[in-house]
Amino acid sequence: MTVAAAPTPLSVLSEEEELFRQTVREFAETEVGPYVHEMDEASQFRPELIAKFFELGLMGIEIPEQYGGAGGSIFLAMLAIEELARVDASAAIYVDVHNTLFNNALLRWGNDEQKARYFPRLTTELLGAFALSEPASGSDAFALECRATQQGDDWLLTGRKFWITSGAEAGLFIVFANIDQAKGYKGITAFLVEREFPGFAIGKREKKLGIRASSTVELILENCRVPAANVLGPVGQGYKISIETLNEGRIGIGAQMIGIAQGALDAATRYVKERKQFGKVLADFQGVQFQVAQMATDLEAARLMVYNAARLKDAGLPFSREAAMAKLFSSVTANRIAGQALELFGGYGYSREYPVEKFYRDAKIGVIYEGTSNMQLQTIAKMHLK
Q: Are 221 and 158 in contact (CB under 8 A)?
A: yes
d(CA 299, CA 148): 44
Q: Which amino acid is at 277?
A: Q
DSSP 95: H
Query: CA angle 178-180-185, nearest 5°?
Result: 55
Mode of pairing for the β-strands spanning 128-131 and 172-178:
parallel
d(CA 329, CA 327): 6
CA-closest candidate to residue 45, choices 101, 88, 108, 98: 88
**114 in helix, strand or coil?**
helix
Q: Are 54 and 124 in contact (CB under 8 A)?
A: yes
CA-closest candidate to residue 189, choices 157, 220, 219: 157
Catalytic residue among 82, 134, 322, 370: 370
Residues paired with 281 in a beta bridge:
276
Beta strands in the chain (DSSP E): 128-131, 147-151, 154-165, 172-178, 188-194, 200-205, 216-227, 231-232, 276-277, 280-281
- 370 counts as catalytic: yes
d(CA 94, CA 280): 42
Q: Which amino acid is at 134?
A: E
Residues paired with 177 in a beta bridge:
189
Q: Are 165 and 215 in contact (CB under 8 A)?
A: yes
User: Buried b vs exposed e over 206-225: b needs ≥16 C-beta within 10 Å?
Assistant: bebebbbbbbbbbbbbeebb
Number of other residues whose CB lies within 10 A of the CB of residue 351: 11
Angle between helices 89-96 and 238-274 (to 10 degrees): 160
Q: Which residue numbers are catalytic?
A: 370
